[in-house]
């Protein structure tokens, strides 16, 4: 009975001029008893007194009640509200994050309208943080938005990151400011997701979430790594350490683990040239001194996907269900197949393991090799950390000579490292001597000072041979795999 009044209201509304064009289209639906009530529910004005749980019914289904509760109680800081940051903050607000702090000193410009998430022509000249805060208030009134129209600086790190945020989104495009923020977050133990270069790129299928030190085809990442390593090197030498430049060693400090959103697509265009006025008086055109003046071509879809990826990373971590995003450029099956062929050849040559011989033990197949390279070794040498992009030939070889060439006993290393490791395991018949004998003495070429201190130097091991600590780390990884391997 309660549907009849609603039906009469809907029929009267359908006779109004604004509804006349769709009257013929909806008239068949009006015969259904349920549709009028649903339609009335959809067209009625939004009531702000409705509990906010109704807004997040789908989110609760996705993450569960506990995951939704964590998101609603979360405090997230977004630094940089341009093409990437505005989309990230926008989706965080829509997803129900309870508190947002937005930091950006810049104003909306006409040139930024092609990529900003919420700005309109009427917003040109207004601070980006104010524009976002105003827009979010109409979408998520439950979200407490703190808009700070300031530039992030190292001197203000304590103030801008106070309040114990659970996550920080770095959407800054200036290298030194970006480095300040990353160092500030890691020093305070605040998880951070950093967006790298979205300009001059277009392919959304090549976007990955991985480690800052593993990115390729990203000029911003290259400059950022150089800036950070320069700072770390200055700090090391200031503390009395020896310079590490020129040595292929990991010099980033302990605990520096920054996830980044990047694209391994090659850059399609360079910076736009300056006009005559800009060349004559560059300081009059820059937003701030020493900041980039030349414009980088940007297709609006790419920063939007970068921002959405940052938001997805943050939301899944807040809800306790982190996503398993691809961290490296995918390895082709052709490359994995060639590695399998070389592995079988090596098995016949070094171990006499041939398919037609008695006692033959199958080796890893192409699918298992793909998993090993991408998921276990991260497309890098298990010993030296060299990436596949380096001019090296990579191989798979047994870690323990006495065990079969199955995934839990295979390492991904360069050809030179494989030869050195095979020689070391041939001498013992199983693992390298450094793992079998705790009293194993390093080669006599070890530096005397390093020997006295018990520190492994560059000359402490033979060429292409890993340090004992590296062997132990690889051994632990493979032991965990073997423990979960079906018997």
Q: What pLDDT shows up at residue 30? A: 45
d(CA 195, CA 193): 7
* φ and ψ at residue 432, rounded to 5 degrees: -60, 150
End-to-end CA distance of the chain: 66
CA distance 223 to 179: 10
Helices 3-14 and 34-43 pack at an angle, to 10 degrees, of 60
Which residue did the predictor score with more confidence, 99 or 4?
99
pLDDT at 417 over 80: yes
> Residue 169: which H helix or E strand, with range?
strand 167-170
Looking at residue 258, its pLDDT comes to 85
- Identify which of 79, 80, 192, 75 has the alpha carbon closest to the alpha carbon of residue 143: 75
d(CA 128, CA 134): 10
Query: 245-283: per-residue pLDDT in tens?
Result: 444 445 566 557 788 999 988 887 766 566 665 555 555
Residue 375 tokens read as 């998921």
Q: Angle, nearest 10°, between helix axes 83-95 and 128-139?
A: 20
Cα–Cα distance for residue pair 171/113, rounded to 1 Å: 17
Per-residue pLDDT band for 91 (boundaries 50, 70, 90) equals very high
Q: What is the CA radius of gyration of the chain?
A: 29
Of 409 and 285, the structure prediction assigns the larger pLDDT to 409
User: Percent of the chain scored above 90 by pLDDT?
Assistant: 34
CA distance linking residue 433 with residue 440, whole number of Å: 7
Residues 72-95: b if buried by 16+ CB within 10 A, e if exposed: bebbbbbbbbbbbbbbbbbbbbbb
d(CA 81, CA 348) in angstroms, rounded, equals 59
> What per-residue confidence (pLDDT) applies to 254?
58
Output the pLDDT for position 290. Answer: 52
Residues 346/234, Cβ–Cβ less than 8 Å: no
pLDDT by residue (tens digit) across 4-23? 554 454 445 444 444 444 44
Query: Which H, E and C letters describe 377-445, residue by residue?
Result: CCCECCCCCCECCCCCCEEEEECCCCCCCCHHHEEEEEHHHHHHHHHHHHHHCCCCHHHHCCCCCCCCC
User: Which region among 4-8, 106-110, 396-400, 458-462 has the lowest average model confidence (pLDDT)?
Assistant: 458-462
Q: What pLDDT score was predicted for residue 13?
A: 47
Task: State the Cα–Cα distance between residues 465 and 377, nearest whole angstrom.
Answer: 17
In order, the DSSP letters of 356-371 are TSTT------HHHHHH
Which of 219, 414, 215 lies closest to 329 in space, CA to CA?
Answer: 215
Q: What is the pLDDT of residue 243?
A: 57
pLDDT, greater one: 192 or 27 = 192
Six-digit token pair at 349? 């040559």
Give the C-alpha separation, 198 to 42, whole Å: 38
Sorting pLDDT into bands at 50, 70 and 90, what band is 3? very low
Residue 486 pLDDT class (50, 70, 90 cuts): confident
Entry pTM: 0.67
Question: What is the overall mean pLDDT for the chain?
Answer: 79
Mean pLDDT of 430-454: 59
Torsions phi, psi for 256 (to 5 deg):
-85, 100
Asked if residue 305 lies in contact with residue 205, where contact means CB atoms within 8 angstroms, the answer is: no
> DSSP string covering 292-353, please?
--SPPP--THHHHHHHHHHHHHHHHHHTT-------SPPPPHHHHHHHHHHHHHHIIIII--
224 Cα distance to chain centroid: 15
Strands 99-103 and 75-79 turn out to be parallel
Q: How confident is the model at residue 42 (pLDDT cuts 50, 70, 90)?
A: very low
């Amino acid at each position: 009975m309660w549907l009849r009044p609603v039906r009469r209201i809907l029929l009267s509304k359908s006779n109004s001029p604004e509804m006349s064009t769709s009257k013929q289209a909806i008239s068949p639906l009006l015969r259904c008893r349920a549709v009028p009530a649903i339609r009335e529910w959809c067209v009625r004005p939004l009531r702000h007194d409705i509990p906010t749980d109704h807004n997040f019914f789908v989110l609760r289904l996705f993450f569960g009640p506990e995951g939704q509760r964590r998101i609603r109680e979360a405090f997230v800081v977004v630094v940089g509200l341009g093409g990437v940051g505005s989309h990230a903050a926008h989706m965080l607000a829509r997803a129900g994050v309870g508190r947002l702090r937005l930091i950006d000193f810049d104003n909306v410009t006409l040139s930024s309208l092609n990529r900003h998430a919420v700005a309109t022509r009427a917003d040109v000249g207004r601070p980006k943080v104010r524009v976002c805060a105003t827009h979010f208030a109409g979408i998520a009134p439950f979200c407490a938005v703190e808009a700070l129209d300031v530039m992030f600086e190292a001197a203000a790190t304590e103030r801008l990151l106070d309040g114990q945020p659970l996550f920080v989104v770095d959407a800054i495009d200036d290298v030194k400011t970006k480095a300040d923020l990353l160092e500030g977050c890691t020093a305070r133990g605040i998880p951070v997701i950093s967006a790298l270069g979205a300009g001059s790129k277009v392919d959304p299928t090549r976007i990955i979430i991985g480690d800052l030190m593993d990115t390729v085809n990203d000029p911003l990442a290259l400059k950022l790594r150089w800036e950070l390593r320069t700072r770390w090197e200055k700090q090391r030498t200031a503390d009395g350490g020896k310079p590490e430049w020129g040595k292929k060693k990991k010099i980033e400090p302990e605990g520096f683990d920054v996830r980044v959103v990047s694209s391994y697509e090659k850059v399609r265009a360079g910076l736009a040239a300056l006009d005559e006025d800009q060349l004559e008086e560059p300081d009059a055109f820059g937003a701030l001194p020493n900041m980039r003046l030349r414009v980088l071509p940007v297709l609006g879809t790419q920063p939007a996907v970068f921002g959405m990826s940052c938001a997805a990373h943050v939301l899944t971590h807040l809800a306790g269900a982190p996503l398993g995003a691809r961290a490296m450029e995918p390895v082709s099956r052709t490359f994995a197949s060639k590695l399998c062929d070389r592995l079988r050849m090596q098995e016949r040559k070094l171990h006499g393991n041939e398919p037609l011989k008695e006692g033959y033990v199958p080796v890893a197949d192409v699918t298992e090799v793909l998993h090993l390279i991408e998921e276990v070794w991260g497309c890098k040498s298990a010993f030296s950390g060299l990436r596949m992009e380096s001019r090296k030939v990579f191989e798979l070889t047994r870690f323990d000579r006495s065990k079969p060439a199955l995934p839990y006993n295979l390492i991904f290393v360069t050809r030179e490292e494989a030869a050195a490791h095979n020689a070391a395991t041939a001498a013992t018949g199983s693992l390298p001597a450094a793992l079998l004998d705790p009293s194993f003495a390093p080669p006599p070429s070890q530096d005397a000072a390093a020997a006295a201190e018990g520190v492994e130097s560059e000359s402490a091991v033979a060429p292409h041979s890993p340090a004992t600590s590296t062997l132990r780390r690889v051994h632990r990884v493979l032991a965990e795999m073997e423990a979960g391997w079906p018997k």
